[in-house]
Amino acid sequence: MRIGELSARTGASRRSLRYYEQQGLLVSARSPSGQRCYDDDHVQRVALIQAFLTAGMSSRTIAQMVPCMTEPNMERARQSLTAMNQERNRLSSTIDSLVAARAELDHLINVNLNFLANAAGITPRAD
């Protein structure tokens, strides 16, 4: 498939796909006329890249993890594993912070609901 179809199938812009290639996150074959050619595996790779970017990973960090997925060897696998563990720890910390923030927000919502109920003379709900 060409870049337009990959873009349509993944929701990534053509510009983003070119950027992924520049960063070494995505590798395409070239047609005799120089057009980029992709296959179904690229659709999954783009989805993975997008998920990692959405999770706050930099393209540089993702590139550190890619070699073990494309051309595995012992040294690349070790380096990739280090990067993966660092990102996993960062994500876990972020998740913990988000869960704590949500709990605090839930508490404030209940305080506000109770205030509104009391101000209106309604029995507060028990959550």
For range 69-82, the mean pLDDT? 81
The single residue listed with the structure tokens 């929701």 is 11
pLDDT by residue (tens digit) across 5-59? 999 999 999 999 999 999 989 988 898 998 999 999 999 999 999 999 999 999 9
- Chain centroid offset of residue 52 CA: 3
When the pLDDT of each residue in the chain is averaged and rounded to a whole number, the result is 90
How many CA atoms within 13 Å lie on the side-chain side of 28?
22
Beta bridge partners of 30: 36
Angle made by CA atoms 100, 104, 110, in degrees to the nearest 5: 145
For the entire predicted model, the pTM comes to 0.74
Give the pLDDT band of residue 122 (cuts 50, 70, 90). confident
pLDDT by residue (tens digit) across 86-95? 999 999 999 9
Tokens of 89: 């720890």
